[in-house]
Chain A
Amino acid sequence: MTPFWPDGKAVPVLVGGDAPIAFRWNRRRHRVEHVSGRWRIHTLWWADEVWRDYWEVVTDTGLLCVLFHDLLADGWFLERVYE
């Protein structure tokens, strides 16, 4: 199963600089071991603006997942977890 939240699931994230260091999800703490990709999206400003920094990370708990930092709301969200 690959949990997927198109609008993101708000999660508490510990940040260092602009990068995620660890986050809580499923009553567990996941520490970021490795960033395997990052990118930025900024579009749809004429309808429902989206401005996000995406982080694809591997955690110490063995997850590969995609987090994003919503730059408009300044909040962190989990978008997808590959299990």
Chain B
Amino acid sequence: MSGYVELHCHSCFSLLDGASTPEVLVERAAQLGMPALALTDHDGLYGAVRFYVAARERGIHPIFGAEATLEGGSHLLLLAEDRAGWANLCALLSRAQLEGSKGEARLRLSWLRGRTDGLIALTGCRHGRVPSLLLAGEKDKAARALRTLKTLFGPRRLYVELQHHLHRDDDSLMADLAELAETLRLPIVATHNVHYATRDGHRLHDVLTAIRHNVPLDEAQPYLRANSEYFLQSVDEMARRFAAYPGALEATQEIAHRCRVEPNFRGDALPPQPDRCDPDLRLAELCRAALPARYPRHRDKAAQQLEHELRVIAQTRLAGYFLLVWDIVRFAKDRGILVRGRGSAANSIVAYLLGITNVDPLAHDLLFERFLSAEARVMPDIDLDFCARRREEVIQYVYERYGASHVGMVCTYVTYQERSAVRDVGKALGLPADIVDRLARSRRGHWGDAATAPPPEGVFSGVWEQFQALCQQIRGLPRHLSIHVGGMCITAKPLDEIVPLERATMPGRVVIQWDKDSLEDAGLIKLDILSLRTLSAIDECLRLVERNHGVRPDLDALPLDDAAVYEALQRADTIGAFQVESRAQQQALVKMKPRCFRDLVVEVAIIRPGPLQGNMVHPFFRRRMGLEPVTYAHPMLKPILEETLGVIVFQEQAIRVAMVMGGFSPGEADLLRRAMSRHRSEEEMASFRERFVRGAMGQGVSRDIAERVFAQMAGFAAYGFCKSHAAAFAKTAYDTLYLRAHYPVEYACALLNNQPMGFYPPRVLIGDARRHGVKVLPVDVNRSEGKCVVEGGAVRLGLEYVNGMGAAAIARVIQAREEGEFAGLADFCRRTRLPRGLVENLILAGGMDEWNADRRAMLWELGRLRYREEELPMVLPADGVMLAPMPRAEGVLAEYGATGLSANGHLMEVCRERLDAAGVLTSRDLGRAREGSRVRVAGMVVVRQAPPTAKGFVFLTLEDEWGLINVIVRPDVFAAHREVWTGSLVLVVEGTVQRAAGAVNVVAEGASGVG
């Protein structure tokens, strides 16, 4: 019996060409009874690891290769036989990518010389050099081209590729190719150049082709394939089509048999230690040395845990990984760069002792097994946050330390989401541009709604159905490759022998063709070197405190029981604090009333999209407040969920529930965790659900309860924090709250100098600082630096807060000032030669009030002044400057215009008198308003949110001179006054007071803007 293995198969990682994921292709091959399958995407191995994982799960032998684009645009199919072939393939593809223009890889035939070991070449599709010459009637040239390939690959590793897609000339082309092969004594092989798993994929393939060429389908005919035959064919069908060439079918199996390499680099991934010392011994030494200082008490318990972890690390051979991370952290600390580890790493006492993390795992019952267990097959992950301004120094160090050829940035795939799908598919189907635009704007991740929506006016129902179906199919397919924010890959062997490289936008940087998941599955080292502005702010705050108070608080040694921190948390007084400042967090804080660090950890973990989607938040808070009893879906869950009142809050708990109730092994549970955190398909989750329910029922749990518990777990899907990660974040939140409570001036200054960051704009931060007794001084051309500074116990705003004041302009002011203070406007202009527009902004910002508080008069004076302006390389904001009388109220407004904030007062003061007269409440009054009473409130709109989980509800946060006001707008109310809600800087809102456990909201019924 003749078998068949597909050796030429494109997945969606042939970007905007292949229409099926590697998983779907594998699944189809399995259904067809194929023992093996190759993945051969264009110019890359992007999908190789996903393909590998899927094939392994389905028991299919995976073959890896790529269809390389040669100079001149012709194609050549390359398959890797062994490790040498893999390395050659990666090196060739890398070179083609790096020397070609971005996104257009070009491989030169000459590069193949000496690089064909372990590679099998097939002559390719119609775009192959040999077939295309035959199609052009150039038999001699075709023979010459084939001979060239034979010289490069030898007679055993070159096959003439035959394809048949029921095109008119397929028969004759096949005959010509077979004849040529015969002449040159080369073997033939049948392939099918697959672009989608089943026939119905051809529509999406056509759409992708149209998108790639940026034309609607109607104009895409020249690029489209003539029929829908490019799907994975059955063995029988291939046998029929190649009946005249039985050898071509046999060759597929022969090649499949020869190709035996897998992208599994476990074991040789780690760079060796510099002095070749034993990594296990070295790690143990470092940890044991650090133990007494970190654990003055509980030393025995710590030592015991340490020895346990060291054993597991030795078994999993990961000491080198820890040392590598330690080395980077040490570098940063030596240079005074603030760094904090997080992620599951915080579960480990080793990481704590090495200074990688600063959360004591013993004190917080963190589970080491979540980080690393002897049976887990995956690399643990450690994420490092660095002070944002200095992260680049760390990256440079990694490059220097391990060599540029061993370090690359991890990629991410930008995939089709609802909005991009609507735009691209709509355009391809030729829907009117305004309709596409409206659809794209109106949608926010509601696939369900879209699928049932009726066609908009002007779109035929047939087209609409196609549009909806295709949007659904394209979702999740990769659209282009991008660079990961901080993921770095470090390898022992040269990187380009492991994975193909591409150009990154930043000169000299390369990005690898795998994302984090692929890297992890290939057993390679990845490190997240991230930047966190909060750390920059903390760093700056510590420096300011040291300068002003002569002490530098040691955050690592900070006791976690500071009363001021918890008082602020219980009042939801958290503006400017890390992680707990958002409106959702504040409302939760009022209910949670955190009393200890443990509470803060839960707080950080629970206000996340994950727990929200699992509907766990409300029960949790009701239980916390004693409004409902703590119950468990089943008694066996009590030990796991007791600490969180019967609710799943942490990822660790989800995993333990899977093990205890669903009977999952630790390995299985880990697979579930990864499936959840990787946004895996619904089918995959369904299979986990089945397994879980079966396991639970085997233990006597009813189906109903088992399904409910699984639904709660799945609610985590993508977003649940692991406890250690939450603890690490909670520690940073604690530190910011501590600094904010005890050094409010320095903290406010540091925050203002590290914008944009967090949830609120600077004007809210200033308002908040002022309410906490911090004096904020306006910009002053004789006193302000570029950044904000602490000046006599107050924060002096920096020149950079004035619109248009860029680095060059600031430098001019500072330099000119070195010769002495400016004596007046004329002196200032003469010495700085700043353009008039900038000087105007400085006046309006109050920067020259010292000379004349009447800013309008100053502007007048400026108008009459003659001086030589020097242009600056910068763009002034287009909005002009208003010339109005300048009493205090308007002065405040002008400051908003020029700086986006005001140091002299709150915008609401301007209209307070009028508002009082109209009976409008302030944020302070609102605190005393009764539940259900009708009120009017007013404030500046500081935050406007419409979370996708909120079903059209919009949440506004208003600020007045006393604090914040939370407003909830129902979808119908929002729609009725859309322009008012979205267009006004200051709103007067009418509505009903809603009080829930200390949180006060105004449920809006109407609004008007204040002009």
B218 touches A47 (CB 8 A): yes
Task: Specify which of A38, A43, A47 is in contact with B227 (CB 8 Å cutoff).
Answer: A43
B228 in contact (CB, < 8 A): yes
> Per-position contact with B for A51-68: 1 when CB-CB < 8 Å, else 0?
101100000000000000
Q: Give the docked Cα–Cα distance between A10 and B826 (Å).
A: 93
- The reply to whether the CB of B167 lies closer than 8 angstroms to some CB of chain A is yes
The reply to whether A42 and B466 form a contact with Cβ atoms under 8 Å apart is no
Contacting residues, chain A, for B226 (C-beta < 8 A) = 39-43
**B603 adjacent to chain A (CB < 8 Å):** no
Q: Nearest Cβ in chain B — how far from A75, in angstroms?
A: 18
For chain A, residues 16 to 57, give those with C-beta under 8 angstroms from any C-beta of chain B: 37-43, 45-47, 51, 53-54
- For B226, B227, B228, the residue with the greatest tally of chain A CB atoms inside 10 Å of its CB is B227
Given A39-B166, A39-B167, A40-B166, the answer on whether A46 and B217 have CB atoms closer than 8 Å is yes
- Per the 8 Å Cβ criterion, residues 209-230 of B in contact with A are 217-218, 221, 224, 226-229
Give the Cβ gap from A23 to chain B, nearest Cβ, in Å.
20
- CB of A46 within 8 A of CB of B463, answer yes
B19 CB, nearest partner CB in chain A, Å: 14
Q: Which residues 223-248 of B sit at the A interface, judged by CB distance below 8 A?
A: 224, 226-229
Rounded to whole angstroms, the CA-CA distance of A42 and B225 in the bound complex is 9
Size bracket, chain B contacts: 20 to 34
The reply to whether A42 and B463 contact each other, CB–CB distance below 8 Å, is no
**Please, which residues of chain A bring their CB within 8 A of the CB of B170?**
39
* Bound CA–CA A13/B167 (angstroms): 23
Q: How far is the CA of A38 from the CA of B164 in the complex (A)?
A: 12
A46 touches B429 (CB 8 A): yes
Expressed in whole angstroms, the minimum distance between the Cβ of A64 and any Cβ of chain B is: 15
* Pairwise interchain contact B168-A42, C-beta atoms closer than 8 A: no
Q: Which residue of B lies closest to A56 (CB)?
A: B168
Chain A residue at smallest Cβ distance from B224: A43
B679 within 8 A of A: no
Candidates B171, B227, B229, B466; contact of A46 at CB < 8 Å: B466
Bound state CA distance, A41 and B381, in angstroms?
51
Which residues of B242-274 have CB atoms within 8 Å of chain A's CB atoms? Answer: none
Map CB proximity to A onto B695-739 as digits: 1 under 8 Å, 0 otherwise.
Answer: 000000000000000000000000000000000000000000000
> In residues 409-454 of chain B, which contact A (Cβ within 8 Å)?
429-430
A45 touching B203, Cβ below 8 Å: yes
Contacts of A43 in B (CB 8 A): 206, 221, 224, 226-227
Cβ of A54: which chain B residues have Cβ within 8 Å of it? Answer: 168
Q: Is B906 an interface residue (CB 8 A)?
A: no
Contact across chains for B166 and A38 when beta carbons are under 8 A apart = yes
Residues of A within 8 Å of B171, CB to CB, are 37
Question: B228 is contacted by which of A38, A42, A46 (Cβ under 8 Å)?
Answer: A42
CA distance A53 to B226 in the complex (A): 12
What per-residue 1/0 map shows which CB atoms of B147-175 lie under 8 Å from chain A?
00000000000000000001110110000
Q: Which residue of B lies closest to A39 (CB)?
A: B168
Task: Tell me how far the C-beta of B462 lies from the nearest C-beta in chain A, rounded to whole angstroms.
Answer: 9
Q: Complex formed: what's the CA distance from A45 to B226 in Å?
A: 12
Q: Would A40 and B229 be within 8 Å (CB), given that A45-B203, A46-B463, A46-B466 are in contact?
A: yes
Q: How far is the CA of A47 from the CA of B167 in the complex (A)?
A: 22
- Give the docked Cα–Cα distance between A46 and B203 (Å): 8
Give B171's nearest chain A residue, CB to CB: A37
Bound complex: CA A45 to CA B170 (Å): 23
Contacts of A47 in B (CB 8 A): 217-218
Query: How far, in Å, is A59 (CB) from chain B's closest CB?
Result: 20
Chain A neighbourhood of B217, CB < 8 A: 46-47
- Is B126 in contact with chain A by the CB < 8 A criterion? no
Q: Are A41 and B203 in contact (CB under 8 A)?
A: no
In the bound complex, how far is the Cα of B199 from the Cα of A45, in angstroms? 13
User: Is A37 touching B463 in the complex (CB atoms < 8 A)?
Assistant: no
Judging by beta carbons under 8 Å apart, are A37 and B203 in contact?
Answer: no
CA distance A64 to B206 in the complex (A): 33
B227 pairs with A40, CB closer than 8 A: yes
Closest chain A residue to B167, Cβ basis = A39
Q: Does B202 contact A (CB under 8 A)?
A: yes
Q: Which residues of A contact B202 (CB under 8 A)?
A: 42
Q: How far is the CA of A41 from the CA of B229 in the complex (A)?
A: 9
In the bound complex, what is the Cα–Cα distance between A43 and B108 (angstroms)?
A: 35
CB of B464 to closest CB in A, whole Å: 12
Between A40, A42, A46, the greatest number of chain B beta carbons within 10 A of the residue's beta carbon is seen for A46
Complex CA–CA separation, A53 to B218 (angstroms): 22
| Residues on B with beta carbons closer than 8 Å to the beta carbon of A37 | 168, 171
Chain A residues near B228: list those with CB within 8 A: 42, 51
User: What A residues does B224 contact at CB under 8 A?
Assistant: 43
B799 to A: closest C-beta gap in Å: 58
Q: Give chain B residues whose Cβ lies under 8 Å from the Cβ of A38.
A: 166, 168
Q: Roughly how many angstroms separate A45 CA and B202 CA in the complex, as a whole number?
A: 10
Query: How many angstroms from the CA of A10 to the CA of B410 in the assembled complex?
Result: 59
Bound-state Cα–Cα, A37 to B172, Å = 10
Q: How far is the CA of A47 from the CA of B428 in the complex (A)?
A: 12
- The CA of A46 and the CA of B202, in the complex, are separated in Å by 12
Q: How far is the CA of A53 from the CA of B221 in the complex (A)?
A: 19
Q: Mark B838-882, 1 if CB is under 8 A from A, else 0.
A: 000000000000000000000000000000000000000000000
**Residues of chain A within 8 A of B466, CB atoms compared:** 45-46
Complex Cα distance, B225 from A39, in Å, reads 13
The residue in A45, A51, A54 that gathers the most chain B C-beta atoms within 10 A of its C-beta is A45
How many whole Å from B95's CB to the nearest CB in chain A? 38
Complex CA–CA separation, A42 to B168 (angstroms): 13
Q: Which residue on B lies nearest to A38, using beta carbons?
A: B166
- Which residues on B sit within 8 Å (CB–CB) of A46? 203, 206, 217-218, 429-430, 463, 466
The distance in angstroms between the C-alpha atoms of A37 and B170, with both chains bound, is 10
List of 4 A-B pairs having minimum Cβ-Cβ separation, nearest first:
A40-B166, A39-B168, A42-B227, A42-B228
- Provide a sorted-by-A list of 25 A–B residue pairs whose CB atoms are within 8 angstroms: A37-B168, A37-B171, A39-B166, A39-B170, A40-B166, A40-B226, A40-B227, A40-B229, A41-B226, A42-B202, A42-B227, A42-B229, A43-B206, A43-B221, A43-B226, A45-B203, A46-B203, A46-B206, A46-B218, A46-B463, A46-B466, A47-B217, A47-B218, A51-B227, A53-B166
Residues of A that sit less than 8 Å from B by CB: 37-43, 45-47, 51, 53-54
Known pairs A39-B168, A43-B226, A46-B217 / 16 extra A-B pairs, C-beta < 8 Å: A40-B226, A40-B227, A40-B229, A41-B226, A41-B227, A42-B202, A42-B228, A43-B206, A43-B221, A45-B203, A46-B203, A46-B206, A46-B429, A46-B466, A51-B228, A53-B166
